[in-house]
Amino acid sequence: MDRGFGKGLLWGLVVGGTAGILAGMLLAPKSGKDVRNDIANKLNEWFDSDTEPSNRDENDWLINEGRQKGEALVADAKEKAELLLADAEKLLFEIRNQSEHSMATGQA
């Protein structure tokens, strides 16, 4: 298997799995209809209150806070994915060596 393909596939699985877990945690406690209603209500509150300068500052702060937490989450996921990739490559190397040793000694 081409190392780049395996690395990309593993990276995709890790990122996809992480996204799935996050989506499940965010959406599981309520039904889809309840979540959509909550989002609609929050957006209405946000747009209604956005006309006051103090609320704009608070909204900007919340957006920046969310962005920072999102970036930290992505960095953490990337670090864990890199560790997982290193472990997978080490395991693959060990399996290949074991297979080559078995072939050389005539063991199946």
Q: How far is Cα 33 from Cα 39, in angstroms, rounded to an integer? A: 10
Give pLDDT < 50 ranges for the chain: 1
Q: Tell me what pLDDT residue 49 has.
A: 61
* 33, two tokens: 């209809």
Under 8 Å CB-to-CB from 10, ≥6 apart: which residues?
81, 84, 85, 88
- Return the number of other C-beta atoms located less than 10 Å from residue 81's C-beta: 19
Q: Is 10 exposed, middle or buried (0-12, 13-18, 19+ CB in 10 A)?
A: middle
**Domain parsing of the chain, residue ranges:** 3-105
- pTM for the full model? 0.40
**Which residue in this structure is represented by tokens 């960095």?**
75
